[in-house]
Structure 1
Amino acid sequence: MSSSSSQVVVVVVVIATVVIVVVVLATVVVVVVIVVVVVLLVVLVVLVVIVVVLVVLVVIVVVVVVVVVVVVVVVVVVEAEVVVVIIVVVVVVVVVVVVVVVVVVVVVVGIVLVEAVIVKEQLRKIL
């Protein structure tokens, strides 16, 4: 069972791409749900932010676990060069974490802006 580094890299990159796509889709779904909740329930901003943070932590943990499993499988099954696999995996993890953090920052900023507009409208009605 001999295989070149390029085949291994292709396998790892394909798996990594699938992981990234799944994580991004999950994050998008979570963001949509959160936005709907924020629009419906103005009062629960703090809870929503906490939920966002928890979701991000869960996503990061899941990504790390999946990556570890992928590394073990690729190293054991394909007899890959460990260094190549580790480099690819580190890049994948960094990309996923950056994407998730950016999405969360955008969502939190969006929530704050929506809240500001809603509060301004409420004050205008009262005054």
Structure 2
Amino acid sequence: MSISEFFSKVEVYVSISGSRCSSRRSSSAVVDVVILKVLIIVVLEVEVVVEVVVVVVVVVVVVVVVVVEVVVVVVVVVVVVVVVVVVVVVVVVAVVVEVVVVEVAEVVVVVM
């Protein structure tokens, strides 16, 4: 049911009940309808504000989650690259030391 349908039903009810009552009571019913309309409009405005706040909170949470995931991926990539570089350096140093030791041993054997 739309808001205008609801208001028209309330007005019909008030006009029917107002015709059965004194004029003072009927004017009170009209004031009640105006107050009811204002309250419904306020509730609808609050609902819109709440929806906007919920959307903003959801967007912020999604952005934070995405940023955290990106940071985690970057950290993992950096750690993997550092480990690979360290392994390569250790292997190169080991090969160089082995070659140097073999060359020095050959020179020592030749000299002796």
Q: Relative contact order, CA 8 A, sep 6+: which one is greater?
A: 1
Which of the pair has more CA radius of gyration? 2
TM-score, normalization by structure 2: 0.50
